[in-house]
Amino acid sequence: MSFAEGILNGKSAIVTGGATGIGSSIVRKLGTLGAKVGIVSRKEENLIAAVRAFKEDDGIDVAWRTGDVRDPDGIKNSFDELADEIGGIDILVCNAAGNFICPTEELSWNGWRTVIEIDLNGTFNSCQAALIHLKAAKDGGRIISISTGQAEFGWPGAAHAGAAKSGIQNLMKTISVEWGKYGIRANWVNPGPIKGTEGVDRLIIQQGLEKQVTKNIPLGTFGEGEDIANAIVYLSSDTGRYVSGAGIAVDGGSQWQRFL
């Protein structure tokens, strides 16, 4: 299952948190469809292993920089260097996220702040850092942020992530309005639970919630990283040119069910 070969030829993309999980599926898909891709994440060992796997498994060369989306100046430097290396930034995927389960009454200020800083402030920092490059994108820059359908509900044990992911959706709405004049489209994707990701292992499987969650997915199964990557390609390529300020649920129909 794929898009036309070379559909992203001539495009350059940055994926934050692109070394692991959903991010790495997005990188593989963008790269195999012709985009030049750069990734930023905190851990050098993850980056090196991922870049080797992208080359060995998919034959794609991926540029990388270590960086923390919480650090606006550091992210700006990383994006500028990557843009030089991959030929600009047409597509920004704000994927880096942090999360853990903790009841709100026990959540420390630092725990709250840490997740808000990674998820929400990190998305803001990435958008600002990419802006000068996105403005120069010849077919209109694309920003796609990873949110979650859980942000539409109360999310017991994840007040920090729920607030941040809701905030990301509103940030995309505002940016779509403000930066439309630059030809920039800003959208978000709400993944359902995706097999084999560290987040789902820790937040669902290790909490003993796999059966309960699966029961509430109308299509009856967890998704795959490639399902999210396909939505990113749609929004990144010419096919998505008139879509801005929108959210796409890729969740087996579960946005109308409660997970927990």
Nearer to ligand HXC, 20 or 176 (CB): 20
Figure out which of the listed residues 200, 229, 232, 248 binds ligand HXC, where binding follows CB under 6 A. 200
Size of the site for ligand HXC (CB under 6 A): 19
Q: Which two tokens stand for residue 13?
A: 């993309």
Please list the helix, strand and coil fractions of the chain in percent, rounded to the nearest 5, in that order.
Answer: 50, 15, 35
What CA–CA distance (Å, rounded) separates 211 from 145?
28
What CA–CA distance (Å, rounded) separates 255 from 260?
12
Write down the least CB distance from residue 139 to ligand HXC, Å.
Answer: 30
Run of H or E residues at 15: strand 12-16
Contact between 157 and ligand HXC per CB under 6 A: no
Write down the least CB distance from residue 101 to ligand HXC, Å.
Answer: 6
Write down the least CB distance from residue 198 to ligand HXC, Å.
Answer: 5
Contact between 22 and ligand HXC per CB under 6 A: no
Contact between 161 and ligand HXC per CB under 6 A: yes
Residues between 94 and 123 with contacts to ligand HXC, criterion CB under 6 A: 97-100, 102, 108, 110-111, 114-115, 118
Integer CA distances (angstroms), 134 to 5, 72, 115, in order: 24, 17, 26
Nearer to ligand HXC, 32 or 148 (CB): 148
Nearer to ligand HXC, 155 or 179 (CB): 155
The dihedral formed by the CA atoms of 231, 232, 236 and 240, expressed in degrees to the nearest 10: 20
Nearer to ligand HXC, 193 or 247 (CB): 193
Of the candidates 139, 147, 108, 143, the one whose C-alpha atom is nearest the C-alpha of residue 129 is 143
How many residues comprise the chain?
260
**What are 94's strand-pairing partners?**
145
- The CB density around residue 239, as the number of other CB atoms within 10 Å, is 13
Write down the least CB distance from residue 173 to ligand HXC, Å.
Answer: 20
Contact between 199 and ligand HXC per CB under 6 A: yes
Write down the least CB distance from residue 178 to ligand HXC, Å.
Answer: 26
Contact between 189 and ligand HXC per CB under 6 A: no
Q: Which stretch binds ligand HXC (CB under 6 A): 47-55, 74-82, 91-99, 171-179?
A: 91-99
What CA–CA distance (Å, rounded) separates 16 from 22?
11
Contact between 153 and ligand HXC per CB under 6 A: no
Figure out which of the listed residues 86, 144, 203, 248 binds ligand HXC, where binding follows CB under 6 A. 203
Angle (CA) 153 115 232, round 5°: 70
Find out whether 148 and 99 touch, Cβ atoms under 8 Å.
no
Contact between 16 and ligand HXC per CB under 6 A: no
Q: Which residues bind ligand HXC (CB under 6 A)?
A: 97-100, 102, 108, 110-111, 114-115, 118, 148, 150, 161, 193, 198-200, 203
